[in-house]
Chain A
Amino acid sequence: QKEVEQDPGPLSVPEGAIVSLNCTYSNSAFQYFMWYRQYSRKGPELLMYTYSSGNKEDGRFTAQVDKSSKYISLFIRDSQPSDSATYLCAMSHTGGFKTIFGAGTRLFVKA
């Protein structure tokens, strides 16, 4: 079993839809939870960063962490074609070092 599981998709939604992206993990020592967005031929860019459990909101994006279920989510409201990218969840127990990534979910938002 991989430490971090993420459905690779692809996920295709119409513009304006609410998108839900999820990851599960097995290592209960993880404390830092991140979502990265990666456009084609670009490096991953940090989208959301949370420590421990709870919710964090930033504009149209909401990250949720449920440590009891070992489950994290990213919600995108009012999705736009510019949101089309691969979304990678990532987590670690020591910050930057030894960050473990999910496989990434490829998202397509159709105009």
Chain B
Amino acid sequence: DTAVSQTPKYLVTQMGNDKSIKCEQNLGHDTMYWYKQDSKKFLKIMFSYNNKELIINETVPNRFSPKSPDKAHLNLHINSLELGDSAVYFCASSQDTGGLQDSPLHFGNGTRLTVT
């Protein structure tokens, strides 16, 4: 009954490859996110997806592309992987209440990506 689940848990791949990470939430939330956590534990938002509206963090390279088949799923596709892409990627979800009520983030357990 995991609320936010990601697959795979670990991903080891070589530079130049293309890979995808999948995320599903069963909380009924309508906003989903991708966060990147670097080796110093710093969490940075990459994308937010709300009711088919994608909001992009402008610092994210266009090799990263989120895809949302429905509001319970948000996948992350990465093209031409680079060494610097090695990090832990977290999916999260929240309920969009227009900012009027609490709407904290609920995180998955992360995908540890290692690019060699």
Query: How many CB-defined contacts (below 8 Å) exist between A and B?
Result: 76
Within 8 A of B (CB), among A42-63: 42-46, 49, 51
CB distance from A72 to the nearest CB of B (A): 15
Q: Are A97 and B31 in contact (CB under 8 A)?
A: yes
Size category of the B interface is: 20 to 34
Cα A98 to Cα B47 with chains together (Å) = 10
Chain B residue at minimum C-beta to C-beta distance from A86: B41
Which residues of B are found within 8 Å of A88, using beta-carbon distances?
41, 43
Asked if B41 and A43 make an inter-chain contact with CB atoms under 8 angstroms apart, the answer reads: no
With A99-B45, A103-B41 as known contacts, state yes or no: A44 contacts B107, CB within 8 Å.
Answer: yes
Question: How far is it, in angstroms, between the C-alpha of A46 and the C-alpha of B95 when the chains are bound?
Answer: 14
16 contacts between A and B (CB under 8 A): A41-B109, A44-B90, A46-B105, A49-B104, A95-B96, A95-B97, A95-B103, A96-B31, A96-B33, A96-B95, A96-B104, A97-B55, A97-B99, A99-B105, A101-B44, A103-B42
- 15 extra interface residue pairs, beta carbon distance < 8 Å, beyond A8-B40, A95-B97, A99-B104: A8-B41, A32-B104, A44-B43, A44-B107, A49-B102, A88-B41, A88-B43, A95-B99, A95-B101, A95-B104, A96-B104, A97-B48, A97-B94, A103-B40, A103-B41
Give B contacts to A, CB under 8 Å. Answer: 4, 31, 33, 40-45, 48, 50, 55, 90, 92, 94-97, 99, 101-110, 112
